[in-house]
Structure 1
Amino acid sequence: MELFNLNGKTALVTGASGGLGESFARALSQAGARVVLAARRIEKLEALATEIKSQGGEALAVSMDVTDPANVESAFATVKEKFGGPADIIVNNSGISRDNWYTKITEEEWRAVMDTNVDGVWRVAKAASNALIEAGKPGSIINIASITALRPQYFISAYAASKAAVDHMTRVMALEGARYGIRVNAIAPGYYKTNINDEFLDSEAGDKMRKRIPMKRFGEHGELAGALLLLASDAGSYMTGSTIVVDGGHTVNTL
């Protein structure tokens, strides 16, 4: 179990103000890491930081808009100032969706998804990697992709395309980062209730989808912790360029 110990590590989680990001932050804290909670909604981050501290953890809330390059750089500067060095672990979790037929989605909606889900992942990974390289330290970047990068689904052309980009970008980053000791991997979750999809999952169409999943249920947030801690810790020290699918068998179901 010592392989999964994150004592002395600093982990930054984007999109930590709710949903999977909040769950990731809690799991990393419980494994011993000090956590940097990053998102635009600072008030929600402060509440989570207070909760983590009350449980004996160490947490810092920082405002970060992944669509703003200067803001991303400022957040990493804050981490360096606070902890005397870069974050060792980065969870690139920020993401949005704009659901519609591809013939109906607007230019503005498409660009908003790409700016957050693709450009934002690149901005954060770039800032994190440069900080690690400057400090001469190894690190682990964990990009949050999706099973929609692997199999098609109606109405989410922008989201699916963005996650497919994240999936492949992860491999290119892994190739380039290896010389610096920076591992880059991805997690592709199946369907878990978040503020992006809860309305759909609670609908009749969502229930039909649930029945097609071999395990006949949607995932619980905590069920991603195993993959997360594997990639974040020394337990995954020889893993880079991998995408771990955690979906209850959804993507291996028969056609």
Structure 2
Amino acid sequence: MSTLNIERLFGVRGYVALVTGGTSGLGFMISKGFVTNGAKVYVVALPTEPIAEKVSELNEIGRPAGGSAIGKKDSIAELASTIRSRESHLDVLISNAGIRRDPPVACDVLSAPLSELQASMWSSRHSDWADTFSVNTTAHYFLSVAMLPLLAAASQTTSTDGRMGREDGRGAIVLTSSCASMHNATNVDLTSYATSKAATDHLVKLLAAKFSRFYVRVVSINPGFVPSKMNPVGEAGNMFSSLFDRVPARRAGNEEDIAGTVIYLASRAGAYIDGVSICVDGGRVLVANGQE
């Protein structure tokens, strides 16, 4: 059957994608996956990031497949206006930016005396919690709302063979959450981070329900150990290195794991997936049980 052709199922050639936090870590992995397969990617990052350098690299990677990248560093409202001035629709929004704010006073959560544990947890600042939720949850909300008309337009487009965009997976939002939202990490205090990611998981359901009339799908990926600035996997002294042998996959995640999952969710293959969070963690949550 033609509908079971792999290229047809997972193809994103010609798609227009927007990736926030797209110049490093998970975002750059995702951007590479899309341009390599022929998509046009708008890369959004902080002004302090090497946007021009990374966009140039993405364009070189995407050239053989017709993929391309454009760099942006705008606020949400300005960003939406810029995309509207350039595109009639947006096939996929990857809202990926995130931060982590650990307590300034660290301790061994598993063995610290009560007084040390309390002192460490009390050292968390209100501003750290506010900043964490602002970036990890609230920004997903406002970015999704700002891009809704462009995403709805993608869902309603008609291809040359008469198929609606929604049948090809177009008009999708993929939020980046974390498997930390799904277990009670006790080897390090990730409380504000994990709580913000749990809020993101619920936001997926809320947005998916609100956008359902337009079939603008909303999903999230919940990565485990994957190299990024926030999680320097493989570096000496990394707090998570000793845990890899306890993950069923026996390794950290890589760009194929992350980009492959996102392309699946954004393409025809994932067009029937909506309102759920997909754990991409090599089985981490299965064995964590609140102890690691």
Which one-letter code corresponds to 1:210 in the other structure? F
In 2, distance between residues paired with 1:43 and 1:217? 28
Residues 42, 62 of structure 1: 8 Å contact kept: no
Query: What residue number does 1:206 align with?
Result: 240
Q: Deviations over 1:74-113 (max 9, x none)?
A: 1121112123x23210011000000124422101111111
1:61 matched to 2:76? The reply is: no
State the SS of the aligned residue for 2:50: helix
> Within the alignment, does 1:221 sit opposite 2:269 as a pair?
no
Question: Per-residue displacement from partner, 1:45-90 (whole Å, max 9, x unpaired)?
Answer: 22122122224122111113xxxxxx2011121112123x232100
Separation (CA, whole Å) in 2 of partners of 1:208 and 1:135: 44
> Residues 215-244 of structure 1: CA distance to partner in whole angstroms, max 9, x if unpaired?
222112321122111111111111101211
Structure 1 Cα separation of the partners of residues 236 and 197 of structure 2? 23
Of the structure 1 ranges 33-42 and 228-237, higher mean CA displacement relative to structure 2 is found in 33-42
* C-alpha spacing 1:246/1:133, structure 2 compared with 1 (3 Å): closer
Larger Rg: 2
The residue correspondences of 1:88-103 to structure 2 (distance < 5 A) are: 88-100=91-103, 101-103=120-122
Q: How many residues align?
A: 248
Residue equivalent to 2:113: none
* Structure 1 partner of 2:41: 35
**1:12–1:89: 8 Å Cα contact kept in structure 2?**
yes
Tell whether the 8 Å contact from 2:226 to 2:233 is kept in structure 1 after alignment: no
RMSD over equivalenced CA pairs, Å: 2.0
| Aligned partners of 2:222 and 2:279 also within 8 Å | yes
Matching residue of 1:76 = 80
Distance in 1 of aligned mates of 2:124 and 2:276: 31
Q: Is the 8 A contact 1:174 1:183 kept in 2?
A: yes
| Structural mapping, 1:142-153, within 5 Å | 142-153=174-185
**Match for residue 244 of structure 1 among 260, 275, 278:** 278
Q: Output the TM-score relative to the length of structure 2.
A: 0.79
- Note the C-alpha offset of 1:4: 1.2
Q: Distance in 2 between matches of 1:8 and 1:225?
A: 17
Percent identity over paired residues: 27
Distance 1:5 1:42 in 2: 33
Quote the Cα distance in structure 2 between the aligned partners of 1:72 and 1:59: 19
**SS at 1:160 equivalent:** helix
Gaps of 5+ in 2: 1-5, 104-119, 157-165
Partner of 2:21: 15
Deviates more, 1:110-119 or 1:55-64: 55-64
| Residues 1:3 and 1:135: Cα distance change in structure 2 (over 3 Å) | closer
Q: 2: CA distance between counterparts of 1:135 and 1:239?
A: 16
Unaligned residue ranges in structure 1 (runs of 5+)? 65-70
Instruction: Give how far 1:176 is off.
Output: 1.5
Residue 191 of structure 1 is matched in structure 2 by 225
